[in-house]
């Protein structure tokens, strides 16, 4: 299977929504109009790149990356990773690894000093990120806003 990564475009919106449906199956789906408006905001945000992985020409996974400028570490930015998802039928075939490698390369090209993410409390997910070279160095905190 040939796996490639690239920046997502507007034409990928349907595939992205399908992947996000797998990531958060309890979420109500967005209307097409709402999804298009959010995509316009995402694609216009400086430092934001949604990557997709294609497996044999099919969008099989995605990762959302945000480069955040930073006044510490000599002014070197941080790359934040969110919404990592690989379609169930493509899991454990190298798609996620390719996406994470692409995210790290994006951070390197932006001059970031680190790539950071939060992971679900799931042993498989943790072992996946560790296999991609990430280390569990801090405890994450989260507060949901209603």
pLDDT digits (tens, 9 = 90+) for 43-100: 999 999 999 999 999 999 999 999 999 999 999 999 999 999 999 999 999 999 999 9
Rg, Å, the chain Cα set? 15
pTM of the predicted model as reported, rounded to 2 decimal places: 0.94
Domain ranges of the chain: 3-131
On the CB side of 136, CA atoms within 13 Å amount to: 14
Task: List, edge to edge, every strand of the sheet that includes 58-68.
Answer: 3-7, 48-55, 58-68, 78-86, 114-117
Q: Is the pLDDT of residue 121 over 90?
A: no
Residue (of 117, 10, 8) closest to 60 by Cα position:
8
Q: What is the pLDDT of residue 108?
A: 98
The CATH number of domain 3-131 is 3.40.50.300: no
Residue (of 31, 42, 33, 38) closest to 8 by Cα position:
42
């Amino acid at each position: 299977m040939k796996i490639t990564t690239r920046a997502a475009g507007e034409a990928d919106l349907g595939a992205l929504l399908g992947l996000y449906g797998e990531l958060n199956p309890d979420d109500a789906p967005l209307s097409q109009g709402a999804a298009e408006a959010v995509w316009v905001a995402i694609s216009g945000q400086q430092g934001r790149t949604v990557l997709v992985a294609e497996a044999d020409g099919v969008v099989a996974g995605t990762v959302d990356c945000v480069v955040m400028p930073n006044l510490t570490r000599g002014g070197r930015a941080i790359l934040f990773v969110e919404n990592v998802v690989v379609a169930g039928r493509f899991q454990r075939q190298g798609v996620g690894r390719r996406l994470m490698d692409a995210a790290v390369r994006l951070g390197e090209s932006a001059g970031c000093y680190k790539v950071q993410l939060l992971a679900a409390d799931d042993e498989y997910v943790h072992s996946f990120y560790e296999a991609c070279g990430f280390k569990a160095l801090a405890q994450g905190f989260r507060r949901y806003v209603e």
